[in-house]
Homo-oligomer: A and B are copies of this chain.
Amino acid sequence: MRIAEAAERCGLTIDTIRYYERAGLLPQVPRGADGKRRFTAESVDWLILLGSLRKTGMSMKAMARFAALYRKGDQTIPERREILLRHAEQLSVKRRDLDRCEAVLTYKLETYDLREVNKKAEY
User: Which chain A residues have a beta carbon within 8 Å of chain B's beta carbons?
Assistant: 48-49, 52-53, 55-56, 74, 77, 80-81, 84-85, 87-88, 91, 94-95, 97-98, 100-102, 104-105, 108-109, 112, 115-116, 119
Q: Is the Cβ of B85 less than 8 Å from the Cβ of A55? A: no
The distance from the CB of A65 to the nearest CB of chain B, in whole angstroms, is: 16
The 6 closest A-B pairs by CB, nearest first: A52-B101, A56-B101, A52-B104, A55-B97, A88-B105, A81-B112
Q: Is the Cβ of A84 less than 8 Å from the Cβ of B55? A: no
Q: Is the Cβ of B102 less than 8 Å from the Cβ of A91? A: yes
Complex Cα distance A97/B57, Å?
11
Complex Cα distance A119/B74, Å?
10
- B98, B105, B119: the one within 8 Å of A84 (CB): B105
The distance from the CB of A89 to the nearest CB of chain B, in whole angstroms, is: 10
**Beyond A98-B91, A98-B95, A112-B80, is A105–B74 a contact (Cβ under 8 Å)?**
no
- B56, B85, B100: the one within 8 Å of A98 (CB): B56
The distance from the CB of A7 to the nearest CB of chain B, in whole angstroms, is: 17
| Additional A-B contact list (16), CB under 8 Å, known A88-B109, A91-B98 | A49-B108, A52-B97, A52-B101, A53-B101, A55-B97, A74-B115, A74-B119, A77-B112, A77-B116, A80-B112, A81-B109, A81-B112, A88-B105, A91-B102, A94-B94, A95-B95
